[in-house]
Amino acid sequence: MPMQLWGIIFIVVFILYLIGVIIEFKRAQFLLFLAGGIIAGMTQLLYTIASFDASQYQINTIRYLFIAILHLVIAGMGVYA
């Protein structure tokens, strides 16, 4: 995937998170956090796998993995709440 597509996906996730914070309906907030977390988590995991092969330093891969886990935790908290 081109870098522009990665950026567009993460901008969409940012908009989902932002609307989830601003909106007043609790159910919609949780659904937006769930959608944003799953999309961002899966995309970040793909980015982690791609950087594992291409990166000279493995610290970048570990950093991207932690970011992916953070997004999946956000999705999980959206479901839990």
Task: Confirm if 46 and 80 have CB atoms less than 8 A apart.
Answer: no
pLDDT at 11 over 90: yes
Report residue 27 as tokens: 């159910």
Q: Who wins on pLDDT, 3 or 32?
A: 32
55 Rama sector, left if φ>0, alpha if ψ -120 to 50, beta otherwise = beta
pLDDT at 44 over 70: yes
Report residue 77 as tokens: 């908290």
pLDDT at 53 over 80: no
Please tell me the distance from the alpha carbon of residue 41 to that of residue 47, in angstroms, as a whole number.
10
79 band by pLDDT with thresholds 50, 70 and 90: confident
pLDDT at 81 over 70: no
